[in-house]
Amino acid sequence: MTPLKKIVESYIRKVIGVKKLCDRCLDTKRWGGNVVLMVVDAAFTSIGLNYFTAVVPKVEEFNQKFVKTGRIKDLSDLAKANINELKKVWQNERSWKAAKEIASYLSKLDDGRTALRTWAKKSSLENWWEDPIGRIKGVGLITFQYLRMMGGVDTVMPDKIVKRVINEILVLAGEQPVNDDMEFIKKAEEIAIACGHRPIELCWMTWLIQPEGKIMRMKKYRNLFSKI
């Protein structure tokens, strides 16, 4: 076992159960398979608040007020929804504008899950900013990668937590950290595959291994996993 693989395994062992979460993400079955909720999740996550304490409760509130009541049944409904009404759940207008534009584009491709998977399959990291979704204001590389992952692409998001943990692993293994986002994604994918894991598993591991107080997120938020 190489030093890098040994270190990666020591991290992965702490998040037993991450594989199931990643399976559901790659199968486009997060949030009960509701792509409207996945798009809203990605739009909320883009502004950098705590995922478990800020984003998840608000996506659930949106679900209760708009989806379960039938006010927003599909991507087309989300694209046409009134922002002032939506802001009663989440006040950040930029998030809603991004969510509505993403929904508008996807709704023209197909219905729900098929639309997201169709787009993700054709999407590419190279020149991502020229992609129809990559061009949307409020969709940066991190959100672009997050949507691709939920659409079935096995990759990673170059957010600050993922980069910090993966670069920490590289340094422990005697290798150089990678700061450029594009190069980092490629490097993280290489590490995962070389160590016998999927890139998405390495990505989720970095989030779930984080401590909140004295408890690791993997344990603290385990009751939410079947939902998200």
The domain boundary, picked from 93, 121, 150, lies at 150
Euclidean distance between CA atoms 60 and 52, whole angstroms: 11
Let me know whether 185 and 80 are in one domain.
no
Query: Tokens in use for 131?
Result: 């992609």
Q: How many domains does the chain contain in total? A: 2
Euclidean distance between CA atoms 101 and 90, whole angstroms: 17
Let me know whether 19 and 43 are in one domain.
no
The Cα-based distances of 8 to 163, 201, 203 in angstroms read 14, 11, 12
Helix and strand element counts for the chain (H, E): 13, 2
What's the whole-model pTM score? 0.96
The domain boundary, picked from 133, 150, 167, lies at 150
Let me know whether 81 and 178 are in one domain.
no
The Cα-based distances of 51 to 45, 179, 228 in angstroms read 7, 23, 11
Let me know whether 56 and 136 are in one domain.
yes
Let me know whether 144 and 160 are in one domain.
no
The domain boundary, picked from 150, 173, 189, lies at 150
Let me know whether 175 and 74 are in one domain.
no
Let me know whether 9 and 54 are in one domain.
no
User: What are the residue ranges in the chain where pLDDT is below 50?
Assistant: none
Euclidean distance between CA atoms 184 and 39, whole angstroms: 24
- Domain extent for 187: 3-24+156-224
Let me know whether 64 and 127 are in one domain.
yes
Let me know whether 220 and 200 are in one domain.
yes
Q: Which H/E stretch holds residue 212?
A: strand 211-212
The Cα-based distances of 146 to 7, 44, 129, 142, 222 in angstroms read 25, 12, 14, 6, 21
Let me know whether 18 and 59 are in one domain.
no
The CATH number of whichever domain residue 134 belongs to comes to: 1.10.340
Buried residues in 165-177 as b, exposed as e (16+ CB within 10 A): bbbebbeeeeeee
Let me know whether 64 and 123 are in one domain.
yes
Let me know whether 143 and 46 are in one domain.
yes
Amino acid (one-letter) located at 50:
N
